[in-house]
Structure 1
Amino acid sequence: MSPSDENVSAMLASSASGTTLMILVQLASRVFTFTANQLILRGLPPAILGIAFQLELYFISILYFSRESIRVAIQRQPLQFKSIAIFDHKDDTDAAFKKANDESEVRTIASQSAVNMSYLSLMLGFLFAMAFAASYIQFAPSEVSQLPFYHASVVIATAASLMELSAEPFFTVVQQYMLHRKRAVVEMSAAFVKSLATCLAYTWAARTGHVVGVLPFSLGYLCYSSTLICGYMLALRGVSDKWKFSMFLTKITSRNGSEYLLERFPWPMVTLSTNVFFQSVIKHILTQGDSMMLAAMTSLEDQGIYALASNYGGLVARVLFQPIEESSRTLFSSLLNSGGTGKLSIKNVNAAKSHLTEVLRAYSLIALVGFPLGPALVPQVLHVLGGRSWASPRVSSLLSLYCYYLPFLAFNGISEAFVSSAANTAELRNQAVWMGVFSACFASAAYLFLKVGGLGAHGMVYANIVNMAVRILWSFSFIRSFLSRHKSGVALAEVTPRPLTCIAGVIMCMILTTRQSYASVNIGDALTFGAVYIVVVLYLERRYLMMYYTKAREMVKSKANKTSKPKGE
């Protein structure tokens, strides 16, 4: 196997293991959050949950505007798979030793450049935090600003966002060297502490009769950020010494004394992050636009109901889709990085395409199972989990509708991950222009559904589906064009289930819809129909599933063989 093939295999294997670990992290964090929410949800009015929804939007916005474009720019750099080579011989004239030193220096420069770039996130964070805090406090409605501990909650959430941005250098190192296990441990611990702090604060307030508003949520953010920083500091002790770079903002010089970085920052990466920033602003508006529109056009109760649907309905998205999207973006960025030459390896392009089609095919199967079963099962589960205050037809129908939105969310995430990794600077600017068009489409759809149609939280889900649909169409148009330029392509059959499987899905949708029209579907019937349907899907897709099961086993076996291989072989 050639070195380039080995590198591609290493990237694919590392991406697979990283995705698995991040799914476990998201699953654990969602379990912690879900458990904490269940303990406080039954005594939490929809209006308070709506304000907590706004506070989360405020917190996320500071983080997103401060670090998203910089993370994308850093991810476009080559990953560091191997630690610095250590040789027993000391002869500086030896060609292998000189080559190792050169590779070591390049790796050190790349790592230090990424760490230095991450400090820009904290600098931007101060600016955005001050601006957002002033506007959020100044323009808050009276029913929100008069809530007990409202101003204290905003201040604590602001401090928590800056603390989380302080952990960006550590996150950058974890991503560069693909230290997924360390990241998993740290983020899982932080999620547990956040959930525990939120739950304990609300429990204490309920037992003592204090009205604390959304203060427990802001304390949860603060505990999460504190644990994140402490965890990364402990997990990455000695890493910078081992790989010869500094975790602080440092100007890099080569062995002959010439400076590699002007004013400590790698300007090509700064330029790229600037171009990505304007695109990310529009993308954030599109991603979080539902929260913004709801805050502007609906009541706090509607916002609380939508927050419940978003938290429960988005559980699958956060646990499964988000880790896959994140690891795929890192993989695509590495495979489709031309290294400044403008030319891409055909093998790398094919590897990226193969990963994309595998994920899309898996998403198609998940959607085919979720479309008929989700809307039938969700209302039954809500009655058990939410209590009487949330067990209403309005909330149940919203959660059922949210099941149809999730596949759009998944397809958009993976397709935009490919686009952001493959597009050059000019194409990123073109995407930013199109994002502006999508923003207009989304705003128009939201206005029609919310103001004209008066559909409330339901209208927001419809607007989101429109938003995701137009973005998916554009992304797939770009992907087909990109693959065509590199003498490749993607067929519909590569990313969709078999026709018989699709027919089975349509039949199941008709059966469950008919039963819901004439009689309520109880939990027993829904589970029975669901179990039979899943068995049918597994049977019809058995060849596809066995093929990837065999592929996964070979990958695990290959990794185990490399791990157990004696040194020197």
Structure 2
Amino acid sequence: MEKRGQVSQHESMLKRSAKGVTFLMFSQLFSKIVTFILNTLLVRYLSPRVFGINAFLEFLLSTVLFFSREAIRMSTLRIKSPVAASSATEDDPETDDAGPGVLQTAINFAYIPLCIGVPLSLVLIGWQYSNLNEYFLSLPYFKLSIAMIWLSIIFELLNEPFFVVNQLMLNYKVRSQLESIAVVVSCIANFSIVYVYENKFNGSGIALHDATKQEGIAILAFAVSKLVHSTALLCCYYYDYLTRLAPAKKFNISPSKVQLSAGTQPYYLQSEVLQHFKKVYLQLCFKHLLTEGDKLIINSMCSVEEQGIYSLLSNYGSLLTRLLFAPIEESLRLFLARLLSVTSTKNTKLSMDVLVNLTKFYLYLSLLILVFGPTNSPFLLQFLIGSKWSSTSVLDTIQVYCLYLPFLSINGIFEAFFQSVASGEDILRQSYFMIASSGVFLLSCWLLISQYKMSLEGLIFSNIINMLLRIGFCGRFINAFYKRVYSDPASHDSTFLLNFSNLKAVSLVALVIALSNYFLFGVVKTFGQLSINAIMAFGLLSLILYKEKDIIRSYLKQSKRDEVKDA
């Protein structure tokens, strides 16, 4: 009965994580559709230069938030009840980690980002402001825009106690709903300011049209939207806390000491989690510098117009990655951290089976992107951009950007696994690796951008090299992890080193389709050619589904069993 209880709990956790992927995916889909529509509308009003400075402000905001809160978000996943940890054995059912003591400890940790973010934001924004081009400093409302960006950072960090509680309680639905509301409100604010100014105040003709004020208003609208987003999210989280969480009285939203029993020493922070936070923080700094390093490079080596083009590509080109891959990676990271908090062979094997299936899914989707992305993306993108972008190289650059997406996505899932199970020694080892790979990235950027004059294409190829290095490191870690778990050669069929014969067959067909498509049509130029490509994509997808029919059938049977249990 105990083993059955353990299996049921594992199935329940996996089921909740799968539902979490769905909620996060639809939230991302909704948010990206809204921002996609917003960018499509704004791109006809704004120049590449405005998109470039907005991308720079977005970079400042995301950098401060990442350095302030990301390590805490990852570390709080490892909080567990000392009672559960001491009593858990391999044959015992897994204890629910999200108890009152765990939640209160997580809330205490969640105030650390605010302590980091306030001084960090002042230093970083002040430093970057002093190095900005004089043209932007002279724009109307620019100083006000910078102040609003700073306020939005503070309000975002005030959301952290609510975020970590919902994260530990696996409240994906609540989080998705509240974040969607904040996105909608912020997009409405951004577009309304630009639209009202363009149609009510900014006249037509050389004598009446004020281009300088137009750019200042556009930057102000962006800053207002960020402040509205963080404020709306904070209000929504607080309302949810008052109506749903506060009546249960499981925790205090303010920092409070945790005392498990009368004879134990009260504490604010778990020492083990605090030590993990210190180790992971430095590693995440290197990771972020690599992840966001393209923005640092583009700010120093490329023009403002090129920055705008790259911002547009990041929004449109990575749409699929952000909609689909990011929710999967986040749910996988949370699922593995909760599952592997109690050491057992069954837990580890389940985590590896999940990773195998997700890796195969990623590889199949990467094939579709590589075969049909470069040839179809320019034709689709040209309908989304206005005449102000016609003289740029954006349609050529997006073809190269499509080659980058598969590496970005596969690296995401491998690093999600690494972050969930890595020890302090593993994290330190990856930090050293990040230092070396940073040097390789900077060297490749210098060669391709400065020496070979490849501009944005050089930056994208440098990122591909960077992703390959990171995939190799995490792949080696996963392989070593697999060898420790599966010592029996007979169990190889259910391990990470799965027989990928189906993938090989599909890849061969994909290669034939790609070569045929290239020699017959090249880059798609008409709707007829686009339709033929859609038919070929459907055929390749059908082949993938046929080859993996056993896994799909097994998943459908499991879903039916879950429905019967719920009924």
| TM value normalised by structure 2 | 0.90
Deviations 1:488-544 (A, max 9, x none): 664555567432211111112212222455x86423213213323422441354141
Tell me the equivalent position of 1:230. 235
- What is the distance in 1 between the residues matched to 2:407 and 2:476? 16
> Does the CA contact (< 8 Å) of 2:418 and 2:478 recur in 1?
yes
Work out whether 1:322 is the aligned partner of 2:326: yes
- What is the distance in 2 between the residues matched to 1:536 and 1:78? 45
AA at the equivalent of 2:285: V
Tell me the equivalent position of 1:398. 397
CA-CA distance at 1:106 after TM superposition:
8.4
Tell me the equivalent position of 1:160. 152
Which segment is superposed worse, 295-304 or 448-457?
448-457
Tell me the equivalent position of 1:92. none
Report SS of the residue matched to 2:383: helix
Segments of 5+ residues of structure 1 without an aligned counterpart are: 81-102, 339-343, 565-569
Tell me the equivalent position of 1:509. 514
Q: 2:560 aligns with which of 552, 557, 562?
A: 557
- What is the distance in 1 between the residues matched to 2:81 and 2:410? 26
What pairs up with 1:377-396 in 2 under 5 angstroms?
377-392=376-391, 394-396=393-395
How large is the Cα RMSD of the aligned pairs?
2.2
CA shift in 2, pair 1:455/1:557, >3 Å: same
Work out whether 1:199 is the aligned partner of 2:191: yes
> Does the CA contact (< 8 Å) of 1:360 and 1:496 recur in 2?
no
Work out whether 1:121 is the aligned partner of 2:109: no
> Does the CA contact (< 8 Å) of 2:80 and 2:97 recur in 1?
no
Deviations 1:2-55 (A, max 9, x none): 222122112111110000110000000000101111111012111110111100
Work out whether 1:499 is the aligned partner of 2:501: no
Which segment is superposed worse, 160-169 or 479-488?
479-488
Structure 1: 4+ residue segments shifted above 4 A: 103-106, 488-497
- What is the distance in 2 between the residues matched to 1:346 and 1:104? 19
Report SS of the residue matched to 2:328: helix
- What is the distance in 2 between the residues matched to 1:463 and 1:106? 42
CA shift in 2, pair 1:524/1:292, >3 Å: same
Deviations 1:232-269 (A, max 9, x none): 122233424426211111112234163331xx222221
> Does the CA contact (< 8 Å) of 1:357 and 1:495 recur in 2?
no
- What is the distance in 2 between the residues matched to 1:303 and 1:310? 10
CA shift in 2, pair 1:560/1:273, >3 Å: same
Report SS of the residue matched to 2:486: coil
Tell me the equivalent position of 1:14. 16
Q: 1:286 aligns with which of 281, 287, 290?
A: 290
CA shift in 2, pair 1:128/1:558, >3 Å: farther
Work out whether 1:468 is the aligned partner of 2:471: no
> Does the CA contact (< 8 Å) of 1:70 and 1:118 recur in 2?
yes
- What is the distance in 1 between the residues matched to 2:538 and 2:269? 53
Report SS of the residue matched to 1:385: coil
> Does the CA contact (< 8 Å) of 2:502 and 2:547 recur in 1?
no
Tell me the equivalent position of 2:266. 260
- What is the distance in 1 between the residues matched to 2:263 and 2:96? 16
Q: 1:39 aligns with which of 38, 41, 49?
A: 41
Tell me the equivalent position of 2:535. 531
- What is the distance in 1 between the residues matched to 2:525 and 2:388? 22
Which segment is superposed worse, 10-19 or 121-130?
121-130
Tell me the equivalent position of 1:271. 275
Work out whether 1:247 is the aligned partner of 2:253: yes
CA-CA distance at 1:157 after TM superposition:
0.9
Tell me the equivalent position of 2:454. 455
> Does the CA contact (< 8 Å) of 2:61 and 2:149 recur in 1?
yes
> Does the CA contact (< 8 Å) of 2:448 and 2:458 recur in 1?
yes
Work out whether 1:221 is the aligned partner of 2:226: yes
> Does the CA contact (< 8 Å) of 2:482 and 2:496 recur in 1?
no
- What is the distance in 2 between the residues matched to 1:472 and 1:105? 31
Tell me the equivalent position of 1:479. 478
- What is the distance in 2 between the residues matched to 1:70 and 1:362? 30
- What is the distance in 2 between the residues matched to 1:527 and 1:520? 10
CA shift in 2, pair 1:190/1:430, >3 Å: same
- What is the distance in 2 between the residues matched to 1:70 and 1:298? 34
| Identity level (%) | 27
CA-CA distance at 1:467 after TM superposition:
0.7
